[in-house]
């Protein structure tokens, strides 16, 4: 099933308010690059660490296939078999990137994905599209729907492979959103991190050996130690385009290069990634299921148990590399105590994190376990208990007329009961720590 509005669902689940970092100490060493547009985007936290013309529209060329691969992975089983149609293999320019697949040739989805992402085969993109949606046109519609659901406002696809078309365009920012989402797939990560792959013999061809074409991932002069793979692209109209994934000290980044007419476009990616790694660091605000505050649960006037308020998943943020953890402040919005039954996983409150006087993260906190509390008659609402005591009092007065001492004793008991009720009544107030 198509993921609907994935960007917004992600925000709802994590409740993270994301802000871009602008740090004066790093401004002096911002790299100058030849590409017309570029971005370095943190996959962990959705922060922009480097940018140049990130909202300018450009032709993506073959990095389009990141979207094609992502949808093919999502909608198919890897061992499904594709029978390549005449349309899929013969509707592309024969001098463009291809795997020499012929009509009626059969490949699995898995082998097709390797051919798509390592060899950049255009007919493979068409075959995956037909397998996924029934036709290339329907798949292109799916690509555009998916782009919108990810928050891409300046992207439009007209084909599956990135071959030239005036209405086929994206931005560095949008391509970062698409790439970051694709990187969440373990299948996608495994394929792009493969240096050499053998496609077994098919019903029409002998085995094929294909190599990863990303030079930062191979043993070349552009080799980059932190590179996890990526996708290359080139047409005369688009120039060189590049998507590169890299990781250092747990910080996962994606670099996007658009419209580079220089042969050193790999250096643009290297320099911008180095800039990000050298100037920023990933800090963990909360670990997955980490306890934050203990909240007492009362049963009557006694504490029955304590529950931990914890997050459901890890919460991280990127800060300047010379920042101290004490620069990040937490503000908890939790009850100081509870007097009702609580179920494991029930929402208790929230926590906000501040850096440089700005909210950088916000997430919900949940109960770590279930605590059952027995209801007391004193917990009845709307004065039911007091009313009942009053009726009993009036009845006793009516029966025992003239017994002044008894009346005074009962009146005193009624007053004490009322005071006692409000004394042990625990209001579920929200408390900031």
Q: Are 232 and 255 in contact (CB under 8 A)?
A: no
Give the tens place of pLDDT for each residue, 218-240.
999 999 999 999 999 999 999 99
pLDDT score of 386 = 59
**Residues forming a β-bridge with 329:** 354
Over residues 242-248, the mean pLDDT reads: 98
Helices (H), 184-288: 186-192, 265-279
**31-280: CATH homologous superfamily?**
DD-peptidase/beta-lactamase superfamily (3.40.710.10)
pLDDT band at 394 (very low <50, low <70, confident <90, very high): low
Over residues 130-136, the mean pLDDT reads: 98
Helices (H), 384-428: 384-399, 404-424
Over residues 325-349, the mean pLDDT reads: 85
Mean pLDDT for the chain? Answer: 85
pLDDT of 24 over the 80 cut: no
The percentage of the chain sitting over the pLDDT mark of 70, rounded to a whole number, equals 80
Looking at per-residue pLDDT, the higher value among 251 and 418 belongs to: 251
Q: Of how many residues is the chain composed?
A: 433
Q: Mean pLDDT check: name the lowest of 125-139, 173-187, 371-385.
A: 371-385
Instruction: Kindly tell me the burial class for residue 120, based on how many C-beta atoms sit within 10 Å of its own C-beta (0-12, 13-18, 19 or more).
Output: buried
Q: Annotate 94-110 with b (16+ C-beta within 10 A) or e (fewer).
A: eebbbbebeeebebbbb
d(CA 6, CA 150): 6
Work out whether the CA dihedral 249, 314, 289, 6 comes out positive or negative: negative
Looking at per-residue pLDDT, the higher value among 92 and 23 belongs to: 92
Give the tens place of pLDDT for each residue, 273-282.
999 999 999 9
The percentage of the chain sitting over the pLDDT mark of 90, rounded to a whole number, equals 58
- Max CA distance (Å), the chain: 113
pLDDT score of 241 = 98
Per-residue tokens: 207: 């085995």
Give the tens place of pLDDT for each residue, 417-431.
665 555 555 444 444
d(CA 166, CA 304): 68
d(CA 291, CA 309): 6
Residue-range domain boundaries for the chain:
1-27+287-374, 31-280, 377-432
| CATH architecture of the domain formed by 1-27+287-374 | Sandwich (2.60)
Over residues 105-117, the mean pLDDT reads: 98
pLDDT score of 336 = 84
pLDDT score of 426 = 44
Q: Are 316 and 328 in contact (CB under 8 A)?
A: no
Looking at per-residue pLDDT, the higher value among 20 and 148 belongs to: 148
Per-residue tokens: 68: 């094609």
pLDDT score of 21 = 46
Give the tens place of pLDDT for each residue, 306-318.
888 888 788 899 9
pLDDT band at 16 (very low <50, low <70, confident <90, very high): very low
pLDDT score of 413 = 64
pLDDT score of 429 = 46
pLDDT score of 379 = 52
d(CA 17, CA 45): 10
Looking at per-residue pLDDT, the higher value among 62 and 302 belongs to: 62
């Amino acid at each position: 099933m198509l993921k609907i509005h994935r960007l917004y669902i992600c925000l709802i689940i994590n409740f993270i308010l994301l802000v871009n970092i602008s740090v004066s100490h790093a401004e002096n060493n911002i790299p100058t690059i030849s590409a017309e547009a570029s971005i370095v985007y943190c996959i962990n936290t959705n922060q922009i660490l480097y940018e140049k013309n990130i909202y300018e529209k450009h032709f993506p060329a073959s990095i389009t296939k990141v979207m094609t691969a992502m949808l093919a992975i999502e909608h198919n089983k890897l061992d499904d078999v594709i029978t390549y149609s005449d349309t899929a293999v013969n509707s592309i320019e024969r001098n463009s990137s291809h795997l020499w697949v012929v009509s009626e040739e059969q490949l699995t989805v898995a082998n097709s994905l390797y051919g798509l992402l390592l060899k950049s085969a255009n007919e493979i993109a068409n075959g995956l599209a037909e397998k996924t949606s029934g036709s290339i046109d329907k798949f292109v519609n799916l690509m555009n729907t998916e782009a919108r659901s990810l928050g891409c406002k300046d992207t439009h696809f007209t084909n599956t492979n990135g071959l030239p078309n005036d209405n086929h365009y994206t931005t560095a920012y949008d391509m970062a959103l698409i790439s970051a989402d694709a990187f969440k797939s373990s299948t996608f990560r495994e394929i792009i991190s493969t240096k050499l792959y053998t496609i077994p013999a098919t019903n029409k061809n002998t085995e094929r050996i294909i190599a990863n074409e990303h030079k930062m991932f191979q043993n070349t002069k552009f080799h980059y130690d932190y590179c996890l793979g990526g996708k290359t692209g080139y047409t005369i109209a688009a120039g060189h385009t590049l998507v590169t994934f890299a990781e250092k000290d747990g910080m996962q980044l994606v670099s996007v290069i658009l419209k580079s007419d220089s042969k050193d476009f790999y250096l643009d990616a290297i320099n911008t990634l180095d800039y990000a790694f050298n100037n920023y660091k990933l800090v963990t605000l909360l670990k997955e299921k980490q306890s934050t505050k203990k909240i007492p649960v009362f049963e009557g006037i006694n504490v029955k148990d304590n529950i931990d308020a914890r997050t459901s998943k890890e919460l991280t943020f990127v800060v300047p590399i010379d920042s101290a953890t004490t620069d990040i402040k937490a503000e908890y919005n939790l009850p100081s105590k509870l007097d009702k039954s609580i179920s494991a996983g029930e929402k208790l409150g929230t926590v906000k994190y501040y850096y440089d006087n700005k909210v950088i993260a916000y997430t919900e906190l949940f109960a770590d376990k279930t605590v059952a509390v027995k209801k007391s008659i004193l917990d009845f609402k709307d004065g039911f208990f007091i009313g009942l005591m009053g009726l009993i009092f009036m009845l006793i007065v009516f029966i025992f007329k003239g017994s002044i001492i008894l009346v005074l004793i009962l009146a005193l008991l009624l007053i004490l009961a009322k005071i006692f009720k409000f004394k042990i009544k625990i209001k579920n107030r929200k408390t900031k720590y």
